Amino acid sequence: MQAPAIPGNEAARLDTLRALQILDTQPEERFDRLTRLAKRMFDVPMALVSLVDADRQWFKSRQGLAVSETPRSASFCAHAINGEDIFEVDDALNDARFFDNPLVTAGPHIRFYAGCPLTVPEGMRLGTLCLLDIKPRTLSAEDRTLLRDLARMAEEEIVAVRMATMDHLTQLSNRRGFETLSRYVLANCHRLGLPASLFFFDLDRFKDINDRFGHAEGDRALSAFSEILRETFRESDVVGRLGGDEFVVLLSNANERSAREALHRLDAAIDRYNDTASRDYALAYSVGVTRYEPLRHPAIEDLLADADEAMYRDKQARRIAR
């Protein structure tokens, strides 16, 4: 059996998947109607919405299959998410990658598989809408078009789920999404003994921007700062907007030196933006930096509270300096 390759963006992919808070949830009609439709349209005994987790594939919706998850190592879907289009196996018994796969040699005795990756806007492939049969078969060109169409519908449902954890204006994680992701990150840091730091940002004089130039310009300032944060920090860092002009970034596996270097990069990026932007105001921020200490910060809320206090001290110091 050939084990599936791990995608190059695996850490960010898993962060995105877990931020949805969709794993291990109850069945939902909006997904079940798609797998029922797929099962009927393609006349297959099994149709699934499968999400590929770190060491398993879990089925948000399943038709014709009793189990709710299987190991990732044996997953056809884990192969499928490494490509952009439909991954098809006409006859698993005659395929060197799958002929001895336990899902082929034993129940559910898969012979045919076709899975279309489910991709969110950032390009993360989280799982598949897939068809399974106990007999060999081949999709026609029309079949492949129909499967892609159903997969796009499943993606729309995933995006709808995701909007509950996303900030509409900036497309960063909102408070709920940030806290969910951060819990996974901090648990991993605690387990592995890795350092972590939290930055709590507040835009300086943001009310003045709204008052002088209007809320539309205020929104553009928030979007610009969000984009600078996204470009400055690593893909593995968790970036969120808590609300208003408050932003947070959680750095994992980052010591104090790494945190300082990240702030220097941010300052340079802000300076470049202010130098090139043709506006009558400049972006500026106050920041509180707090190092994660497991005993002091048993929950992400504790780390946020300490960083928030540090940010207000920084803002007060800036006011005095001015």
CATH number for the domain running over 175-321: 3.30.70.270
Per the listing, tokens 């946020």 go with 304
What is the rounded distance in angstroms from the CA atom of residue 56 to the CA atom of residue 191? 20
What is the rounded distance in angstroms from the CA atom of residue 113 to the CA atom of residue 160? 27
Q: Do domains 10-165 and 175-321 have the same CATH topology?
A: no
* pLDDT per 10-residue tile (average), the chain, 322 residues: 93 88 90 92 96 97 96 97 97 97 96 97 93 97 94 90 82 86 84 92 94 94 95 87 95 88 95 86 94 94 96 83 54
What is the rounded distance in angstroms from the CA atom of residue 238 to the CA atom of residue 230? 9
Q: Does 245 qualify as catalytic in the annotation? A: yes
Residue 139, sorted as left (phi over 0), alpha (psi -120 to 50) or beta, turns out to be: beta
The answer to whether 247 touches 288, Cβ cutoff 8 Å, is: no
pLDDT tens digits, residue range 170-208? 988 899 888 877 887 888 788 889 899 999 999 999 999
Catalytic member of 133, 204, 245, 306:
245
The answer to whether 229 touches 171, Cβ cutoff 8 Å, is: no
The sign of the CA dihedral 262, 263, 264, 267 is: positive
pLDDT tens digits, residue range 106-126? 999 999 999 999 998 878 999
For the chain, the structural domain boundaries read 10-165, 175-321
Per the listing, tokens 């279309």 go with 116
How many other β-carbons are positioned within 10 Å of the β-carbon of residue 56?
17
What is the rounded distance in angstroms from the CA atom of residue 1 to the CA atom of residue 260? 46
What is the rounded distance in angstroms from the CA atom of residue 93 to the CA atom of residue 112? 9
Predicted confidence at residue 322, as pLDDT, reads 52
Predicted confidence at residue 321, as pLDDT, reads 56
Per the listing, tokens 């796009």 go with 152
The answer to whether 228 touches 249, Cβ cutoff 8 Å, is: no
pTM value is: 0.64
Predicted confidence at residue 185, as pLDDT, reads 84
Helix axis angle for 215-232 and 206-213, nearest 10°, is: 140
CATH number for the domain running over 10-165: 3.30.450.40
